[in-house]
Amino acid sequence: LAACSSGADPAAYPEDDIDIIVPFSAGGPTDTVTRMIAEPMSQELGVQLVVQNVDGAGGTVGAGQAATAEPDGYTVLMHHIGMSTAPALYDDLAYDPIADFKPVGLVTEVPMTIVGSSDFEPTTFEEFVSHVQENADTVTMAHAGEGSASNLCGLLLMDALGVEVTAVPYDGTGPAMAELVGGQVDFMCDQTTNTTGQIEAGEVKAYAVTTPERIEALPDLPTTAEGGQPGIEVSVWHGLYVPAETPDEVVTELTDALQVALADQTVVDQMADLGTAPVAADQATPEAHATLLQEQTETWGDIIGAGQGG
């Protein structure tokens, strides 16, 4: 971990490297987006943002570690919609996503795709739906643990199809993708930042995208709504966080560096190639991030709570 800087002087911040926690395995979509922005943020801040993959339990282990880190600006968390869903999925969550953190700003909102191993029988999305409904007891679905976006999409999918398939958890959808390509698991709902390359390379079958409209990066991929399943609609918003007691002047330094990174043409191009885009500058702010986090935590609390008969 980067040198601890307890007792650091906020006015001189940053003086040391900064740890940025990714709560999922290396090589997955959250890791990919983090490494895209870490480079230009490091240049802007004049120190190195050091990515630390702290995986497990659908992102809640890494988020929990960030919540209790020194509030000196030298530990930042990259997390996504799972920040809002975890409280409804875990009775004993070690952190409060709102009380224990300060939002730094939103980063990107990533579409999801339903993809299958190349030897999974269905070819079209309609065939996928009927195959899963008729063979739910033998079909396997990969995800990155309770609280992950791939798990959330899986819950929406099983609810829409009215079936329970065997869910296979991984510490991130980086390793899950390796097993999907290898045919060890049948399908997965995962972010375009992890699936676009494999779809274009023909390593996996692509069935649908979970956005209301088709996306530019995968123009031939129909939406779930086109396939008769409008209920499977979710995009994965990502944001940066610091521990709640972190001084505001430190947050401002990080927000400013984030905004520079999101305007960096290399970042814009890399995100476009992977089916996503930086948020607008007015969304890469603590205020916009706090508003979305509050609203999403309430919304998913209601949806998941209802789904659990809560």
Taking the least distance from each CB to ligand MLT, the nearer of 25 and 211 is 25
**Tally of residues, the chain:** 310
**Residue whose C-alpha is closest to residue 53's, from 104, 5, 19:** 19
Q: Are 28 and 173 in contact (CB under 8 A)?
A: yes
Nearer to ligand MLT, 105 or 147 (CB): 147
**Residue 2 DSSP one-character state:** P
Q: Quick one: 172 or 247, whose CB is closer to ligand MLT?
A: 172
- As given in the structure block, the two tokens for residue 259 are 């905004």
Contact 277, 270 (CB under 8 A): no
Q: Applying CB under 6 A, which part among 22-30, 94-102, 131-139, 221-229 lies near ligand MLT?
A: 22-30
Q: Does 24 bind ligand MLT (CB under 6 A)?
A: yes
Single-letter residue type at 8: A
CB crowding 240-251: b at 16 or more within 10 Å, else e: bbbbeebbeebb
Of 78 and 279, nearer to ligand MLT (C-beta) is 78
Per CB under 6 A, the list member of 14, 56, 73, 82 interacting with ligand MLT is 82
Residue corresponding to tokens 């065939």:
127
Q: Which two tokens stand for residue 171?
A: 């510490």
As a whole number of angstroms, the distance between CA 73 and CA 116 comes to 41
Rg (CA), the chain: 19
* Residue carrying the six token digits 């899950």: 176
Site string for ligand MLT, 127-146 (x = CB under 6 A): -----------------x--
Q: Is 285 in the site for ligand MLT (CB under 6 A)?
A: no
25 binds ligand MLT (CB under 6 A): yes
**Does residue 30 bind ligand MLT (CB under 6 A)?**
yes
Residue from 44, 190, 233, 264 in contact with ligand MLT (CB under 6 A): 190
* Interface stretch with ligand MLT, choices 92-100, 167-175, 212-220, 287-295 (CB under 6 A): 167-175
Asked if residue 275 binds ligand MLT (CB under 6 A), the reply is no
In the complex, the smallest distance separating the C-beta of residue 198 from ligand MLT, rounded to whole angstroms, is 13
What are the residues binding ligand MLT (CB under 6 A)? 24-25, 28-30, 82, 144, 148-150, 172-174, 190-191
